[in-house]
Amino acid sequence: MTAVIAIDGPSASGKGTVAARVAEALGMDYLDSGALYRLTALAAQTQGVAWDDEAALEPIAAQLPVAFVAGSILLNGEDVSATIRQEAIGMGASQVAKWPAVRAALLERQRVFAGERGLVADGRDMGSVVFPDAKLKVFLTASAEERARRRALQLNIDLNSAAYQAIVDDIKQRDLNDTQRAVAPLKQLPDAHLLDTTELSIENAVKKVLDWYRQS
């Protein structure tokens, strides 16, 4: 049976960075499931499909022409690694992710990533829905203000600016969307380890996950 580490958590919590480093340390594959929802939102936008049109979104998600190549994310052969990280596309991902048909279309696509090398997968429902039998489940979080601070630093935004406050508001809205949707809401599972990184470095967060894995 393939060893899977499922790391779930809210947006901008650092779970992607931690998951990628854990995968590298263990020689496992890495799945950024959030990228698939971002790609669905971007593909829909490109095709003129509204993010609230579940019926039209389902075939887009099912047939998403995506490839993960050498650290880049390709959509229809075009490198969209930077484009899908835009705040607007992040909000779009949160909107398309609430539709059951979209989640169902992407479910099997995500499970295919679990190969012989083992897999570290990050997202919102990796431990609850996609990989319920994961060897290790982690719920990685941080305060909304700290997550906004990290995102602002990435984007070189002044922490005293209106742009920073907009990021805080955006993160809180996405948290609301993710925790209150009817299908696969974001929540900490009873069998998941809680990892609050508000005052924790990436290195220490990675070490914590590796320690839990080796003890599991």
Q: What is the pLDDT of residues 72-84, one digit of tens each?
A: 899 999 999 999 9
**Beta carbons of 21 and 202 less than 8 angstroms apart:** yes
Query: Helices H, strands E: what count in the chain?
Result: 8, 8
Closest CA to 159 of 175, 148, 147: 148
Per the model's pLDDT, the better-predicted residue between 51 and 177 turns out to be: 51
pTM: 0.86
Alpha carbon distances (Å) from 173 to 6, 127, 138? 24, 23, 23
Q: Could you tell me if residue 43 is left (phi over 0), alpha (psi between -120 and 50 degrees) or otherwise beta?
A: alpha
Please state, rounded to an integer, the average pLDDT across all residues of the chain: 93
Task: Assign 1 a pLDDT band (cuts: 50, 70, 90).
Answer: low
C-alpha 46: how far from chain center: 21
The pLDDT of residue 61 is: 96
pLDDT for position 198? 95
Residue 71 has pLDDT above 80, yes or no: no
Domains and CATH numbers, the chain: 4-215 (3.40.50.300)
- What is the structure's pLDDT at 2? 82
Asked if pLDDT for residue 109 goes beyond 90, the answer is no
**pLDDT tens column, 203-214:** 999 999 999 999
Amino acid 78: pLDDT: 95
Q: Residue 12 — pLDDT band, cuts 50, 70, 90?
A: confident
Task: Identify the pLDDT of residue 27.
Answer: 94
Q: Is the pLDDT of residue 67 over 90?
A: no
Instruction: Name which residue leads in pLDDT, 70 or 157.
Output: 157
